[in-house]
């Protein structure tokens, strides 16, 4: 029995020694290889590590899309998930460069896919006559003439299609009281557009939501500039 106890004690000592050796073993991880990230373009607010893209701390999303990593801070992101080829910017979904919101689904379609005789939208809006009509650039000028300390938020609404400038989720903003605010838009030649604005509880034209009625605030799309004039308090 004594021999058995001695052998047991010997195994325990050997096991303990093995544990110490195991715990004391240091495995050095290889350094990151920067060459793996040379040709990889990750998202803004993202980074590359070992040839793969990751969102920075405090951001989530697709790290391989240019604007795929979006902030997780409350109140700074969008209230809804942005569609394909779009991203959240200052609380609103906007199309990436080279894309346009034409399908009415929240997704953005590449400009090269418009009017190419191949329907890409479920409702074929990218090949609709009103979409493929001649587009012109029209300058607009608006003046905030109401000295209430609040800049005017305004949009242009098309009466011929479901369209708004700058978008249904974004607005133009005047540059201060008495100062002309200039914006250029791309519209379909001949379509009727109406201006709507709001500030400090006041509303002008068709309203910023486009639901109002107004005759003298609507203009046809053409090459000539539109000088809407002052938005007065009364």
Q: Within 10 A of 174 (CB to CB), how many other CB atoms are there?
A: 22
- Give the contacts of 66 (CB within 8 A, at least 6 positions apart): 41, 43, 44, 87, 96
Q: Within 10 A of 149 (CB to CB), how many other CB atoms are there?
A: 8
Maximum separation of any 2 CA atoms in the chain, in Å: 111
Q: Specify the pLDDT at position 31.
A: 58
Q: Specify the pLDDT at position 172.
A: 96
What is the residue-averaged pLDDT of the chain?
81
Per-residue exposure over 92-119, b if at least 16 CB sit within 10 Å of its own CB, e if not: bbbbbeebbbbbeeebbbeeebbeeeee
The bridge status of strand 226-232 relative to strand 135-145 is: parallel
Q: H-type helices in the chain, by residue range?
A: 2-23, 129-132
Q: Specify the pLDDT at position 150.
A: 93
Residue 45: which region, alpha, beta or left (left: phi > 0; alpha: psi -120 to 50)? left
- φ/ψ of 211, rounded to 5, equals -95, -10
Q: Are 155 and 171 in contact (CB under 8 A)?
A: yes
Q: Specify the pLDDT at position 134.
A: 78
Q: Specify the pLDDT at position 95.
A: 85
Domains and CATH numbers, the chain: 46-128 (no CATH), 135-232 (2.60.40.10)
Q: Specify the pLDDT at position 19.
A: 41
The 3-state DSSP composition of the chain as helix, strand, coil percent (nearest 5) reads: 15, 35, 50
Q: Are 43 and 66 in contact (CB under 8 A)?
A: yes
Q: Specify the pLDDT at position 59.
A: 81
Q: What is the pLDDT of residues 38-81, one digit of tens each?
A: 888 888 889 999 999 998 988 877 788 777 777 776 656 676 67
- φ/ψ of 78, rounded to 5, equals -85, 155
Which residues of the chain fall below pLDDT 50? 1-24
* 41, two tokens: 């373009």
Global confidence as pTM: 0.49
Measured at the alpha carbon of residue 42, what is the angle toward residues 40 and 43, in degrees to the nearest 5?
160
Q: Specify the pLDDT at position 104.
A: 82
Q: Specify the pLDDT at position 3.
A: 43
- φ/ψ of 9, rounded to 5, equals -65, -35
């Amino acid at each position: 029995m004594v021999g058995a106890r001695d052998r047991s004690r010997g195994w325990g000592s050997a096991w303990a020694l093995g544990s110490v050796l195991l715990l004391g073993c240091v495995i050095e991880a290889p350094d990151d290889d920067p060459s793996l990230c040379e040709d990889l373009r990750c998202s803004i607010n993202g980074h590359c590590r070992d040839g793969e893209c990751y969102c920075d701390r405090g951001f989530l999303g697709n790290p391989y899309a240019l604007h795929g990593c979006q902030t997780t801070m409350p109140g700074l992101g969008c209230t809804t998930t942005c569609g394909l080829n779009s991203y959240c910017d200052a609380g609103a979904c906007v199309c990436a460069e080279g894309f346009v919101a034409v399908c009415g689904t929240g997704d953005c379609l590449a400009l090269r896919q418009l009017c190419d005789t191949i329907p890409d939208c479920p409702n074929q809006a990218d090949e609709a006559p009103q979409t493929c009509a001649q587009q012109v650039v029209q300058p607009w000028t608006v003046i905030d003439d109401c000295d209430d300390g609040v800049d005017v938020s305004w949009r242009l609404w098309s009466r011929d299609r479901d369209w708004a400038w700058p978008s249904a989720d974004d607005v133009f903003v005047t540059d201060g009281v008495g100062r002309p605010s200039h914006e250029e838009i791309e519209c379909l030649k001949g379509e009727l557009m109406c201006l709507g604005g709001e500030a400090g509880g006041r509303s002008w034209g068709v309203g910023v939501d486009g639901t109002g009625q107004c005759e003298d605030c609507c203009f046809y799309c053409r090459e000539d500039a539109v000088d809407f004039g002052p938005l007065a308090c009364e």
